[in-house]
C-alpha cells in the first residue's frame, strides 16, 4: 500500500485526534490544533473522564485475548502520534496475535465518518509499527453502551490518508478558516468560542465586499 502523506521531521507530526477533528469540521481542527482552544463542557468532561478511566487500567488477559490500554501509537508515513484507548490482541496461534483497536466515544454512532477515520488511523499506525495487517476494529459508544464493529476497507483508508494530508496542510498553514454554520455546529463543543452564526455572517459580508471591490 502506498500512502500520500509522507511527512519529514518529527516536529511536523500531528495528533491522531486531529484527523477526527478535521473530518468533523476544518475550523474545529484549526481552533484546537492551531489556536490551542479547548472548551470543557459537561459533555467533553464526560468524554475526557471516560478516556482517562480507560487509559488508567492495567493490561489484562481474558482467555485468548490480551488487552492493552492507552497504547502509544505513531505513524511515520502519516505523520501522526497519539494513543489508542484499547488494543485487543486476539490469539491466532501459538506465536501470533491479531491486533484489534477499540476507540471509546461518549456519544452515539454518527452519520459522518469522523470516528471511523480516527479508528482507521490507529489501525494504520499499528500496521506500520508491528508490520501486520489490521483489517477490523471497533468503536464503543457510551450513550448506547454498544460496540460497533468497523471494517477498515480501502475506501475508509483513502479517506483517512486524505484527512491526514489535509489536516497537515491546515495546521502547517497556521490559518483558521472562517465558520460556516451547519447542523453539526449544534453538537460542537466549541460553538461558544467559534460563534459560527455571528462570525459566519461577518465573513460572508466581508467576502461579498471584497468581491465588489475587485470586480471591474
Length of the chain: 216
- Exactly one of 54, 71, 124, 185 binds ligand SF4 (CB under 6 A); that residue is 185
Locate 70 and state its grid cell. 492507552
Q: How far is CA 20 from CA 36, 57, 209, in A?
A: 16, 24, 34
How far apart CA 36 and CA 30 sit, in angstroms, is 8
The least CB distance from residue 143 to ligand SF4, in Å, is 19
- Residue 14 in contact with residue 80, Cβ under 8 Å? yes
State the number of CA atoms in the 13 A half-sphere of 163 facing the CB. Answer: 29
Site string (139-178) toward ligand SF4, x via CB under 6 A: ----------------------------------------
Q: Is 27 in the site for ligand SF4 (CB under 6 A)?
A: yes
Q: Which residues partner with 151 through β-bridges?
A: 136
| Selected range binding ligand SF4 among 22-30, 41-49, 148-156, 206-214, rule: CB under 6 A | 22-30
How does DSSP classify residue 117? H
Q: Is 82 in the site for ligand SF4 (CB under 6 A)?
A: no
* For ligand SF4, the closer CB: 66 or 184: 184
The residues in 31-70 that bind ligand SF4, with binding defined as CB under 6 A, are 31
Binding site for ligand SF4 (CB under 6 A): 25, 27-28, 31, 179-180, 184-185, 188, 190-191, 194, 196
Amino acid at each position: 500500500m502506498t500512502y500520500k502523506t509522507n511527512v519529514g521531521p518529527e516536529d511536523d507530526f500531528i495528533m491522531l485526534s486531529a484527523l477526527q477533528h478535521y473530518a468533523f469540521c476544518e475550523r474545529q481542527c484549526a481552533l484546537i490544533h492551531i489556536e490551542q482552544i479547548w472548551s470543557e463542557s459537561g459533555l467533553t468532561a464526560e468524554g475526557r473522564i471516560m478516556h482517562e478511566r480507560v487509559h488508567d487500567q492495567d493490561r489484562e488477559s481474558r482467555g485468548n485475548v490480551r488487552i492493552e490500554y492507552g497504547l502509544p501509537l505513531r505513524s511515520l508515513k502519516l505523520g501522526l502520534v497519539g494513543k489508542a484507548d484499547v488494543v485487543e490482541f486476539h490469539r491466532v496461534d501459538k506465536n501470533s496475535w491479531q491486533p484489534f483497536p477499540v476507540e471509546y466515544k461518549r456519544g452515539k454512532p454518527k452519520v459522518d465518518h469522523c470516528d471511523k477515520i480516527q479508528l482507521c488511523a490507529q489501525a494504520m499506525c499499528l500496521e506500520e509499527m508491528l508490520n501486520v495487517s489490521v483489517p477490523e476494529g471497533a468503536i464503543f459508544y457510551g450513550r448506547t453502551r454498544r460496540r460497533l464493529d468497523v471494517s477498515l476497507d480501502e475506501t475508509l483508508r483513502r479517506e483517512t490518508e486524505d484527512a491526514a494530508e489535509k489536516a497537515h496542510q491546515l495546521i502547517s498553514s497556521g490559518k483558521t478558516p472562517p465558520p460556516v454554520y451547519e447542523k453539526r455546529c449544534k453538537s460542537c463543543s466549541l460553538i461558544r468560542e467559534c460563534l459560527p452564526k455571528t462570525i459566519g455572517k461577518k465573513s460572508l459580508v466581508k467576502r461579498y465586499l471584497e468581491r465588489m471591490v475587485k470586480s471591474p
